Amino acid sequence: MAEKPVDSLSESEAEAELKRLAEEIAEHDRRYHTEDAPVITDAEYDALARRNLAIEERFPALVREDSPSLRVGAAPAEGFTKVRHAVPMLSLAKAYTDDDVTDFIERGRRFFDRDKELDIAFTAEP
C-alpha cells in the first residue's frame, strides 16, 4: 500500500505515522548497528528517515522524545576497538542532488584550502 503524502496527513495520522517510523527505524538501527544484519537498503532507510523528518517539520508539536531525528549514532557493537582514520572522514552525509555534491566539494576545497583549479579525487560506492 502506498504511503499517504505528508502534506495530506491529518494531525492524528501524523502522530500515528511518527510512532510507527520511530519504532521501525529503531528496529533497523538495532539490526544494522548491533546485529550487523540489515534487512533494508541504505536508500530505503534514508527514505524512512526523510519521511520522519518531513512529518516533524510539518507538525513540530508532534516530535517524539524517541524521534530518530534527535538521535546521534547508535551504541557500538561489542568486540570492536576504536580506530583513528589515516585520512579524515570529512562527511558521511547523504547527497541526493547535484547541488548537494557541489556543496560537498566546495566544503572539501575550503577545508583543505585548495583552489578551484586543482583536481580532487573521489571514491564512491553504490
Could you tell me which of 4, 10, 40, 9 has the C-alpha nearest to residue 25?
40
The Cα–Cα gap between 46 and 25 comes to 10
**Mean pLDDT value across residues 2-26:** 96
pLDDT, tens digit (0-9, with 9 covering 90-100), for 46-65: 999 999 999 999 999 999 99
> Is 1 within the bounds of a domain?
no
> Is 88 within the bounds of a domain?
yes
pLDDT for 77 equals 66
> Is 75 within the bounds of a domain?
no
pLDDT for 61 equals 97
**Mean pLDDT value across residues 99-115:** 80
* CA atoms within a 13 Å half-sphere pointing along the CA-CB vector of 119: 2
Identify the residue with better confidence: 16 or 90. 16
Q: Which of 57-61, 69-73, 120-124 has the lowest mean pLDDT?
A: 120-124
pLDDT for 75 equals 66
> Is 78 within the bounds of a domain?
no
pLDDT for 120 equals 74
pLDDT for 33 equals 87
How many structural domains does the chain have?
Answer: 2
The Cα–Cα gap between 44 and 64 comes to 22
Residues 90 and 119 in one domain: yes
Identify the residue with better confidence: 14 or 90. 14
Measure CA 60 to chain center. Answer: 19
pLDDT for 93 equals 63
- Residues spanned by the domain of 57: 6-70
User: CATH code at 38?
Assistant: 1.10.287.610
> Mean pLDDT, the chain, as a whole number?
85
